[in-house]
Amino acid sequence: MQPSSVCVILIVIWVTNLFLLVQREEKQLEASLDALLSQVADLKNSLGSFIYKLENEYDRLTWPSVLDSFALLSGQLNTLNKVLKHEKTPLFRNQVIIPLVLSPDRDEDLMRQTEGRVPVFSHEVVPDHLRTKPDPEVEEQEKQLTTDAARIGADAAQKQIQSLNKMCSNLLEKISKEERESESGGLRPNKQTFNPADTNALVAAVAFGKGLSNWRPSGSSGPGQPGQPGAGTILAGASGLQQVQMAGAPSQQQPMLSGVQMAQAGQPGKMPSGIKTNIKSASMHPYQRTEP
C-alpha cells in the first residue's frame, strides 16, 4: 500500500470521528438547551403567577401563601443552577451565536417564539439581544461591589461569615425549639389547674362535715343552757350532726318536764297548778244557775 493512500485513509477516519464528535456535541447542546428552556419556562410561569397575586389578590393574600411562592421560586432556581452545573451541560459561554438573517420586516414566527416581545429582528435590536456584556450601569455596580469586597481582608471576611453563620444557627435553633414545643403542646392533654384531691376534700367537708376539727369560740355559753347544744362545738361527720339533734331535743324539753315533775312531787295525784287554776275559775263563775 502506498503512503499516500494510507494518509487518505487516516484523514477520512479523522474527519469521520470529528463529524461524529460534532454531531454528539450538537445533540448534547440541543438536549441541554431543551432542559434549560423547560426550567426557565417553569420559573417564568411561577414568577408570573406570583406577580399576578401581588397585583390583583393582595387584599386576600396570606403570609403562608407568600412563603409558599417564595419556596417554589427558590426550588426552581436551584434546579436551574443544577442544570447549568451538570457535567453533561456544555459551557454556553463558549458558544458563538451569529445572526444569519436580519430583516426590518415583521416576523410572525419570531413573535410566537418570543411571546410577542421581539416582533422584528433587525440591525437595531440585534446588539441589545445578542450582547454578552451587561449594561454599563450594571457593569459599574459590579465593579464597585468587587472593589468593596477586595478591601475586606481574609480574616475580617472569615469573622463576618462565622458571625453570620452563628446568628443563622441560633435563629434556626429557636425556630426548631418553638416548633417542637408547639407540637408537644398539641399532643399532650390540657394541664389541670386544680387538685382533684383538694376538690374532693372540700366537697366532703361542705356536704358531710368530713375532716372538720372541734373548735370552741371564746366566750361561748356552757352546755347546760337551754337552746344550746350540749357540746357547744362543731362535730365531724353526718352521724355527729344527728347526735347533736337528738341530744338537743331532750335538753330543750328539760325545763317543761322538770316543772311538771316538781308539781307532781308537791301535790301527788293532782294536775299541775296551771290546769288546776283554770278548773277553779270555771267552777267559780259569778252567774250561778238556779233551779226553777
State pLDDT tens for residues 102-116.
888 888 888 888 888
pTM of the predicted model over 0.85: no
Q: Using one digit for the tens of pLDDT, what is the confidence trace for 48-103?
A: 999 999 999 888 888 888 999 999 999 999 998 888 887 777 777 777 788 888 88
Q: Is the pLDDT of residue 273 over 60?
A: no
Instruction: Find where cell 290546769 sits.
Output: 275
Query: Domain 1-94 is of which CATH architecture?
Result: Up-down Bundle (1.20)
Angle, nearest 10°, between helix axes 3-56 and 63-85?
Answer: 170
Is the confidence at residue 292, as pLDDT, over 70? no
Q: Quote the CA–CA distance of 28 and 88 in Å, as a whole number.
A: 7
What is the Cα Rg of the chain in Å? 56
Residues in Cβ contact with 122 at an 8 Å cutoff, skipping those fewer than 6 apart: 102, 103, 104
Give the DSSP per-residue string, 146-213.
Answer: HHHHHHS-HHHHHHHHHHHHHHHHHHHHHHHHHHHHHHHHHHSPPPPSS-HHHHHHHHHHHHH-TTPP
Which range among 1-5, 120-124, 244-248, 287-291 shows the weakest confidence by mean pLDDT?
A: 244-248
The set of cell numbers assigned to 221 is: 355559753
**How do residues 151-209 score in pLDDT, each as one tens digit?**
888 888 899 999 999 999 999 999 999 988 887 766 666 666 778 888 888 888 888 88
Say how far apart CA 58 and CA 210 lie, in whole Å.
Answer: 66
Q: Which of 4-8, 187-191, 223-227, 264-268 has the highest average model confidence (pLDDT)?
A: 4-8
Encode pLDDT of 112-152 as tens digits.
Answer: 888 888 888 888 888 888 877 778 888 899 999 989 888 88
Confidence at residue 187, expressed as pLDDT on a 0 to 100 scale: 64
How high is the pLDDT of residue 252?
A: 43
- DSSP secondary structure code for residue 61 in this structure: -
**pLDDT number for residue 242:** 42
- List the domain boundaries for the chain: 1-94, 96-132, 145-187
Q: How far apart are alpha carbons 49 and 57 in whole angstroms?
A: 11
